[in-house]
Structure 1
Amino acid sequence: MTSPATDPMTATVGRLRAVGCVFAEDEARLLLSAARTPDELVAMTSRRVAGEPLEVILGWAEFCGLRVAVEPGVFVPRQRTAYLVEQAVALTRPGAVVVDLCCGTGAIGAAIAARVPGVELYAADIEPAAVRCARRNLEPLGGRTFAGDLYDALPGELRGRVDVLLVNAPYVPTDEIAMLPPEARDHEPLVALEGGPDGVGVHRRVAEDASRWLAPGGHLLIETGEQQATLTAAAVSDHGLRPRVVTSEELYCTVVIGTLPAQVAPGLDDAGP
């Protein structure tokens, strides 16, 4: 019989609790299921104790019912972002052109593709590690991933064709980066976290050119912070989109949805035929 002192589960939970892991039992179960040998379990637990994200250690994250590959140096998908996916699915028709901008692992795009049949899926990120990871997750779904800064990464043929533009860009104000948990601050790229002095710098850049890429009646969805929502909505409105702000108290997530007005066909007006 294994004594409590040598039981792998007990020992792993004890090490995780000692450094303040809130869900020590759940994390320990995942580490035990992933480790192939006792030595590997000890090594993986040591990485977690040192502050490395659990998802990076495992090599995957659960997101919207999917197992999404996660590599070192890539932003780990947050569970709150499931609310962005929920809002996007409600606006996405089968066969729609969908772009996951600032895609990280590509988890958002993958979740949309899993729920809406036949979408034409594109993703882009400025971080090479993110692009590599997103390709792993999206190519099996028929998605295409590109490297570059925001819209510069996208094929020109998408201009004016995007039905749903999904953006989980950074929105942490510069002065608040130091207050992030070490697993984010020390293990995720700063470009995926920092949103400038007020947290909305990248959102403004996204909003500025969104109308050039959206199809008439298309939608831009940006995850933002509760404190940044008014500023994000203003940026969207300033560039010709009709904004609305939706919030999930359960997931603690706020999303700004900007809609490009549908264009009136040439020769027609509100008076009718």
Structure 2
Amino acid sequence: MPPLDPATLATPLTADRVVAALRAAGCVFAEDEARLILAAARTPDRLADLVARRVAGHPLELVVGWAEFAGLRIAVEPGVFVPRRRTEFLVEQALAHAPGASVVVDLCCGSGALGAALAAALGAVELHAADIDPAAVRCARRNVPATGHVHTGDLFEALPAQVRGRVDILAANVPYVPTGEVGLLPAEARDHEPLVALDGGTDGLDVLRRVAAEAPHWLAPGGCLLVETSERQSDAALDAFTRAGLTAHLATDDARGATVVLGVTAAAAPGR
């Protein structure tokens, strides 16, 4: 996006001026974005700063400080992965397969959007969220319910031992962009989101394979693992789930461009 004309900042930014600046910068939904930015700005100086950041190419969610996800307002901060609306499909799939879940884990939690959405839908659950990035952990603590727990660490190493074998829903929004394609991402993601939340290794599935291999040790009988991936990676992702001993299948939502791999552990035998 082009820089904001300094002359624009020399005069009060009315709603019309904000829309014009955003439209000139290439924002397709300039009117909608202007309303959000105006609502987030408490002073003229703050408004000018927010408009300048958006025109400079900062993601709208990071400019206004929040993202809408599954009907919730999720706080986001610079340097933290912004939850995508397509990932709401993963939440819907989790709820459909485990509507009575009592223990939920949000792995690679980023802002904690998945965990927050699942807890909001399920009610009184034991929720654990974890991420390797301290900035993400700080942000997740703003979004996860006060009864939830947010941990810092590498995948399952971050979780308390007492969760092992008890997880009903394990949601993992792992990075799945192949290393060689990170540079092809839109600038809003490439320049403003952490590499650790985007780069999934040579074929994009390094972290997914690690999660799938370890998940059966943490899932309760009949518990489910859900991971978002891309359509072209789906066969390899399904294979990773199957190799881990999970009964796996694919769920897609063409309207949102969402692909979710779901794996389920064997249920406990009757009477156990």
TM-score using structure 1 length: 0.92
Alignment of 1:102 onto 2:108? yes
Could you say if the C-alpha distance between residues 249 and 95 of structure 1 is closer, same or farther in structure 2, counting changes exceeding 3 Å?
A: closer
Give the 3-state SS of the residue equivalent to 2:228 in structure 1. strand
Partners in 2 of 1:154 and 1:44 — Cα distance?
37
CA-CA distance at 1:216 after TM superposition: 1.0
CA-CA distance at 1:32 after TM superposition: 0.7
Partners in 2 of 1:256 and 1:164 — Cα distance?
13
Give the 3-state SS of the residue equivalent to 2:104 in structure 1. strand
CA-CA distance at 1:7 after TM superposition: 6.2
Partners in 2 of 1:178 and 1:215 — Cα distance?
39
Q: Is the 8 A contact 2:101 2:168 kept in 1?
A: no
Residue of structure 1 in register with 2:65 after alignment: 59
Alignment of 1:179 onto 2:184? yes
1:94-173 to structure 2, matched below 5 A, reads 94=100, 96-140=102-146, 142-173=147-178
Letter in 2 for 1:176: E
**CA displacement, residues 156-206 of structure 1 (integer Å, 9 cap, x when unaligned):** 111111111001111111111111111111111000001111111110010
1:3-82 to structure 2, matched below 5 A, reads 8-82=14-88
Partners in 2 of 1:18 and 1:174 — Cα distance?
33
Match of 2:96 among 87, 90, 98: 90
Q: Is the 8 A contact 1:220 1:259 kept in 2?
A: yes
Instruction: For structure 2, list consecutive stretches of 5 or more residues without a partner in the other structure.
Output: 1-10
Partners in 1 of 2:161 and 2:118 — Cα distance?
23
Q: Is the 8 A contact 1:95 1:120 kept in 2?
A: no
Give the 3-state SS of the residue equivalent to 1:230 in structure 2. helix
Q: Is the 8 A contact 1:174 1:198 kept in 2?
A: yes
Q: Is the 8 A contact 1:94 1:117 kept in 2?
A: no
Partners in 1 of 2:183 and 2:16 — Cα distance?
33
Residue of structure 2 in register with 1:234 after alignment: 239
Give the 3-state SS of the residue equivalent to 1:146 in structure 2. strand
Letter in 1 for 2:50: M
Letter in 2 for 1:32: L
CA-CA distance at 1:95 after TM superposition: 5.3
CA-CA distance at 1:139 after TM superposition: 3.7
Residue of structure 2 in register with 1:219 after alignment: 224
CA-based RMSD: 1.6
Aligned residues: percent identity?
58
